[in-house]
Amino acid sequence: MRKKIVAGNWKMNTLPAEGVELAKGVVAQRGEVCECVNFIVCPPFTHLAQVAEVLKGSTVELGAQNCAAEAKGAYTGEVAASMIAALGCKYVILGHSERRQYYGETSETLNKKMEQVYANGLTPIYCVGENLDEREAGNHFAVCKQQIEEVVFNLTEEQFKNLVIAYEPVWAIGTGKTATAEQAQEIHAYIREVLSSKFGAAAEECPILYGGSCKPSNAAEIFAKEDVDGGLIGGAALKAEDFIAIGKGFMA
């Protein structure tokens, strides 16, 4: 049985006090959903420590949205994976399309970040996905394959066992457009096939999340698909009620 995960990517939203309130709301409502669903919140770096306090004693886990490619030293403005781990994070989102697009993150950088994440006992949530032009040209399979081959294929078998993938079509992120459940299943199954070509049966255990305008009204249909193991949620993760309602999609 693969892990079921609902992870919230808060992006650059909420001030610390607001983040604390949001986390409190998630903790308070978490009991409405089966323990078999793992909830993760990924606040901005500035309030990871405060949110970690709120999550203490709950089963809601903490993640960061990024980390540095280097271990430590003269890298002004960067945040090391070791610092994130010390604050109680278990996960780090890597390769989000916003980071690839606005901050020029390449596979080369992401390989270094992966190394840091594993060296500090964290689990990467590695994002892949095509943009609209690539989808319209029918290149979405090739794009995802390349993003996996260039980074995930460099992992050891041991590291691969501790990986979460998020398929996030760029055209669906924050746009209100969602991939259909069939589109999600088609590419999730394909991603699993690519993973199994390298890691064999272990690919069956790798959670593959869908991300892109996932909300309470569409989560159940998407999560019902065989190769969809949950969601990476942006906008709808900013309201505790909606975030939890998305988790309920597994129970529908």
Name the nearest CA neighbour of 25 among 4, 49, 55, 57: 55
C-beta of 199 vs 237, nearer to ligand PEP: 237
Among residues 96, 105, 140, 188, the one annotated as catalytic is 96
Neighbours of 225 (CB within 10 A): 18
Q: By rule CB under 6 A, what string of x and - marks binding of each residue 174-213 to ligand PEP?
A: x------------------------------------xxx
Among residues 61, 98, 105, 168, the one annotated as catalytic is 168
What is the secondary structure of the chain as a DSSP string?
Answer: -PPEEEEEE--S---HHHHHHHHHHHHHHGGGS-TTEEEEEE--GGGHHHHHHHHTTSS-EEEES---SSSSSS-TT---HHHHHHTT--EEEES-HHHHHHS---HHHHHHHHHHHHHTT-EEEEEE---HHHHHTT-HHHHHHHHHHTTGGGS-HHHHTT-EEEE--GGGTTTS----HHHHHHHHHHHHHHHHHHHGGGGGG--EEE-SS--HHHHHHHHTSTT--EEEESGGGGSHHHHHHHHHGGG-
| Number of residues binding to ligand PEP, judged by CB under 6 A | 13
Rounded to a whole number of angstroms, the distance between the first and last alpha carbons of the chain is: 18
Q: Tell me: does residue 230 bind ligand PEP (CB under 6 A).
A: no
Per the annotation, the verdict on 168 as an active-site residue is yes
C-beta of 130 vs 199, nearer to ligand PEP: 130
Q: Tell me: does residue 173 bind ligand PEP (CB under 6 A).
A: yes
Q: Tell me: does residue 235 bind ligand PEP (CB under 6 A).
A: yes
- Minimum CB separation from ligand PEP for residue 99, in Å? 10
- Minimum CB separation from ligand PEP for residue 169, in Å? 9
C-beta of 199 vs 249, nearer to ligand PEP: 249
C-beta of 151 vs 230, nearer to ligand PEP: 230
- Minimum CB separation from ligand PEP for residue 207, in Å? 15
C-beta of 12 vs 252, nearer to ligand PEP: 12
Report the residue from 151, 184, 228, 233 that binds ligand PEP according to the rule CB under 6 A. 233
Q: Tell me: does residue 43 bind ligand PEP (CB under 6 A).
A: no
Per the annotation, the verdict on 134 as an active-site residue is no
Q: Which residues are catalytic?
A: 96, 168
Residues that bind ligand PEP (CB under 6 A): 9, 168, 173-174, 211-214, 232-236
